[in-house]
């Protein structure tokens, strides 16, 4: 069975969420997962359109300043920060280290044409 890049990204995040299950209540975990899954098609479309980029800190950055994009980025970043903090508590790493490791994974798995950020903060299209 072939898995799309989008599905793979959700799967990686879900594995991270499962790993921190004892830290987050099951209800909270399900809500975060559901929100991230629901938002994924909009995120992918915005990335392909060049409206959103992936930062070197495992977060999103709006490259187009519209209320819809701003809300999408803020919502996803909030959930990502929750996941990163929970993984950090579980593993003993810092949330920043978890986020930076995730940023490297995202960059490696991103499709061509997606905006990404180098470690020095400069932007490039994959």
Give the per-residue pLDDT at 75.
Answer: 97
Average pLDDT, the chain: 85
| Calpha distance 8→103 (Å, rounded) | 15
What are the two backbone dihedrals, phi and then psi, of residue 37, each rounded to the nearest 5 degrees? -65, -40
Please state the rounded mean pLDDT for residues 26-50: 90
% of the chain exceeding 70 in pLDDT: 78
Give the per-residue pLDDT at 35.
Answer: 96
Give the per-residue pLDDT at 13.
Answer: 53
Please state the rounded mean pLDDT for residues 21-39: 77
Please state the rounded mean pLDDT for residues 115-123: 97
* Look-up of token digits 């409206």: 51
pLDDT at 5 over 60: no
Give the per-residue pLDDT at 11.
Answer: 46
Give the per-residue pLDDT at 21.
Answer: 45
């Amino acid at each position: 069975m072939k898995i799309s890049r989008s599905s793979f990204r959700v799967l990686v995040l879900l594995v991270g969420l499962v790993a921190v299950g004892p830290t987050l209540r099951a209800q909270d975990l399900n809500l975060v997962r559901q929100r991230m899954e629901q938002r994924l098609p909009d995120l992918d479309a915005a990335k392909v359109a060049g409206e959103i980029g992936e930062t070197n800190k495992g977060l999103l950055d709006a490259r187009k300043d519209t209320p819809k994009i701003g809300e999408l980025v803020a919502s996803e970043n909030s959930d990502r920060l929750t996941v990163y903090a929970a993984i950090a508590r579980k593993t003993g790493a810092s949330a920043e280290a978890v986020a930076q490791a995730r940023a490297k994974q995202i960059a490696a798995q991103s499709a061509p044409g997606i905006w990404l950020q180098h470690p020095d903060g400069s932007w490039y299209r994959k």
